[in-house]
Structure 1
Amino acid sequence: MDSLSAAGVEFCLDVLKELNSSSAGENIFFSPLSLLYALYMILLGAGGNSAEQIKKVLHFNHIAEASKSEFTDSLKCSQAGRTHSDFGVLISQINQPDSNSTLSIANRLYGTKNVAFHQGKSVLVEMMYQTGMFKLAVIERPQMQVLELPYVNKRLSMIILLPTGTTKLEQIAKQLNVRMFEKWTGPSNMVEREVEVHLPRFKLDVQYELNSLLKSLGMTDIFNKHKADLSGMSSAEGLYLSKVIHKSYVDVNEEGTEAAAATGANIAVKRLPIRYQFTANKPFLFLIRDNPSKMIVFCGKFASP
């Protein structure tokens, strides 16, 4: 994972943990890539302590350290510009008009099942069903399954982290960081297997005001009329960031997955004869990843049908 994607994944997990702590039992969905792109736009016009706080929230140290040299302020600004440009290229590649964003599990038999999403409580949920060869990891500590569902063009994948046994989703969320995510989704754990997948249909349409979240991560001055430094945007005094609004939408159904947001080595695969069961009948985390860059495009928690 390169420095840009590592910084992006770390920021994604920071936001996920903050949202999860403030919305226990609720569904979560957001686009870290969209947020990163917007915040880099602000960084380009920020100066002084405001810029330093944004860089810290964005884990700019990952990108700066990759240069193997000390940056002057002007070079740091240039680095921010190059990084923002890289995000622009990445977004345009992901959003190509001819790209196919339909999940490969989208054309099979679907039915309904009673699924116990809350302890002692069952609700009627429409489930999708597919049997095929998928990359699946069976993690022992914490107990969970990690399933990768590739989109038709295989540029994007949906990765689902499903607790098993006595493990609760909060235990997984607590341990989730860049290093563990790489380990859980790495080739040593993700093995192509025959898997019977039961996944609920769900639609999430979520909007957040992220001022408090970004302040808790360390971006405080930019929201303060007297402390914000946006001198790179305008010489006017009193310029500050009033609100950060993020809206995202995902629809996972028999037609596929639709998501939107505004703001060289050969590996031998061992095919196992056992058909594994992957039944998402409890809250789970899911991420939509751009595979070439390893950037997380969308991230969420499905907790309540």
Structure 2
Amino acid sequence: MKSAFYLCLLLLGLQVQSEHGSDNEQQKQKIPYYSEDHSQAEDENLAHDKIALSNADFAFRFYKQVREEAGNKNIFFSPLSISTAFSMLSLGARANTLSQLHKGLAFNLTEMEEQEIHEGFQRVLQLLNDPHREVQLNMGNALFIDNRLKLLQTFLDDVTNFYHSEAISSNFQNSPEATKEINKYIETKTHGKIVDLLQSLDSDTAVVLINYVFFKGYWEKPFNNLSTRDDDFLLDAKNSVKVKMMHQEKAFNIHRDEKMSCWVVEIPYKGNAISLFVLPDEGTMKQVEDALLRETVSNWMQSFQKRKIYLDLPKFSISSSYDVKSLFEKMGVTEVFSHQADLSGMAEKALLKVSKAIHKAVVDVSENGTEAAAVTEIEMVLMSAQIPRPPYIRFNRPFLMMIIDQISHSILFMGKIVNPAAKQD
């Protein structure tokens, strides 16, 4: 029987809240993984550093594929969630199916061994799920397996060892009950942020693979909600929407890229994570997007200077959903979704293929006024006629964002905000 393998990718995006805190110098270190010589001597052979380069390359490649279809819609996704899920799947792939997955995920087996890929993700999962971190960050995997299907013990051992995956037996013959069970699992793991993701299951579903990411960060320098005001966000030359615009007058790591015609601002969280916000000049968004590469971001971060700025950033809450199967096929990863799929390393006496791959991300960016409003801060600086006026960087038109974990060197999320008032997919 030709069983269908239903691969479900999901994550909860970001919930940003403010909490008063002191500067954390570790957060101001440059992200090492963007450049080829990123590692310090003692870190050169760490598996998660090796895969970080490939994961970054995949992130920007996937973004550009999404951009081709997004039009004027917001973009938001977790490249790490997608690469983790498909790398976990690759444990059961063989022959050309495996080669396509490696190529699509930007893994070069002349530079690293296949074992190192999985050891790298194993380490990333350990680093992200460290309970002692200030940032609330959870990432995990699960396999819901039809009780008529027997997976190979070697595959189950590997997904458990490397990806800390749960293996849950389900009765897919009772589709409503199985759907309810999976949705409940998703809702629990995403703290109620993603509800009823699955409407139903295909009749021939044999396995559902899930990856989830939950991130809740607190700004190192919170916004004061008393400074938030109504303002216009320019959708294009003729149209605008009203947004709640947050404001700060503080020192941030910033860079003005004259060649790309954009501002880059680093906003740190407590707990070794940062957001990069990229504001292209009017009419230059495509130019900046075309140049989005690991090397570009590396150059930005190496060029940061800490300066006081007047910063405007909108509050927003958006979600995005993607048909990853369609996007991967356009990126050249086709065989795993076809009748030529070789997933023989997964199950006994069953021919499997991936029938669906879906991804949903949610992001909330705010100042969480209750905590921030209770804080009064007075800063005094020496006046000098020699000091130039701080730049006023207003994110009141479409911009790019990335959320980066500095400990695992991972791009957790990335996207483009073209309309912060458009909440849904």
Task: Please indicate the TM-score interval, normalised by the length of the shorter structure.
Answer: 0.7 to 0.9
How far off its partner does 1:248 sit?
Answer: 1.1
Structure 1 residue aligned with 2:274: 157
Tell me how far apart the structure 1 counterparts of residues 82 and 119 of structure 2 sit (CA, whole Å). 17
Q: Per-residue deviation at 1:273?
A: 5.0
Structure 2 equivalent of residue 214 of structure 1: 328
State the one-letter code of the partner of 2:296: M
Identity, % of aligned positions: 29
The alpha-carbon distance between structure 1 residues 123 and 229, as it changes in their structure 2 partners (threshold 3 A), is: same
Per-residue deviation, 1:105: 4.6
What TM-score do the two structures reach when normalised by structure 1? 0.84
Output the CA distance in 1 between the equivalents of 2:295 and 2:110. Answer: 17
CA shift at 1:238, angstroms? Answer: 2.5
Query: 2:232·2:240 contact (CA, 8 Å) conserved in 1?
Result: yes
How do residues 249-268 of structure 1 correspond to structure 2 at under 5 angstroms?
249-255=362-368
Structure 2 counterpart of 1:31, which letter?
S
User: Deviations 1:190-229 (Å, cap 9, x if unpaired)?
Assistant: 11000111001111122212111011112100001x2111
Change (3 A) 1:80 1:3: closer
Partner Cα distance (1:302, 1:253) in 2: 14
Q: CA deviation at 1:41?
A: 0.7
Conserved 8 A contact 2:344-2:351: no
1:59 paired residue number: 106
Q: Which residue number in structure 2 is paired with residue 88 of structure 1?
A: 125
- Runs of 4+ in structure 1 deviating by more than 2 angstroms, as ranges, are 64-67, 78-81, 95-100, 104-107, 235-238
Cα deviation, 1:214-260, whole Å, max 9, x if unaligned, reads 11112100001x2111111113343001111111111001229xxxx
Tell me the SS of whatever aligns to 1:292: coil
Residue 220 of structure 2 aligns to a residue in which SS? coil
Choose which of 230, 239, 245 in structure 2 pairs with 1:127.
Answer: 245
C-alpha distance in structure 1 between counterparts of 2:111 and 2:129, whole Å: 24
Within 2, Cα distance between the matches of 1:303 and 1:122? 11
**Residues 66-215 of structure 1 mapped to structure 2, 5 A cutoff:** 66-67=111-112, 76=114, 78-93=115-130, 98-99=134-135, 101-108=217-224, 109-153=227-271, 155-164=272-281, 166-186=282-302, 189-215=303-329
TM-score by length of 2: 0.61
Letter in 1 for 2:233: V
The one of 87, 96, 106 aligned to 1:49: 96
Moved more, 205-214 or 99-108: 99-108
List aligned pairs for 1:231-242, cutoff 5 A. Answer: 231-242=344-355
Give secondary structure in 2 for the equivalent of 1:275. Answer: coil
1:143 and 1:167 in contact (8 A); partners too: no
Partner of 2:412: 297
**Which residue does the alignment assign to 1:264?**
none
- Are the structure 2 counterparts of residues 129 and 97 from structure 1 closer, same or farther at C-alpha, using a change threshold of 3 Å? same
Matched, 1:277 2:277: no
The CA deviation string for residues 92-121 of structure 1, in whole angstroms up to 9 with x for no partner, is: 23x767535112353312111122222111
Confirm or deny: 8 A CA contact 1:106 1:253 kept in the other structure.
no
Q: Is the 8 A contact 1:144 1:167 kept in 2?
A: no
2:135, 2:218 within 8 Å by CA — same for their partners in 1? no
Q: Distance in 1 between matches of 2:358 and 2:261?
A: 35
Residues 268 and 274 in structure 2, CA contact (< 8 A), matched pair in contact too? yes
1:298 is paired with a residue whose SS is strand
Instruction: Indicate conservation of the 8 Å contact 1:194/1:273, yes or no.
Output: no
Instruction: Look up the equivalent residue of 1:207 and give its one-letter code.
Output: S
| Cα shift at 1:59 | 1.1
Instruction: State which of 332, 338, 341 in structure 2 corresponds to 1:228.
Output: 341
RMSD: 1.9
**Do the aligned residues in 2 keep the contact of 1:102 with 1:255 (CA within 8 Å)?**
no
* 1:156 Cα deviation after fit: 0.7
Q: Which has the larger radius of gyration?
A: 2
Which 5+ residue runs of structure 2 have no aligned equivalent?
1-32, 34-48, 137-216, 370-386
Question: Cα–Cα, structure 1 residues 44 and 216, in superposed 2: closer, same or farther, change >3 Å?
Answer: same
* C-alpha deviation, 1:3, in angstroms: 2.8
CA distance in 1, matches of 2:367, 2:125: 31
Residues 97 and 144 of structure 1: is their aligned pair in 2 closer, same or farther, counting only changes over 3 Å?
Answer: closer
Q: Is 2:152 the partner of 1:38?
A: no
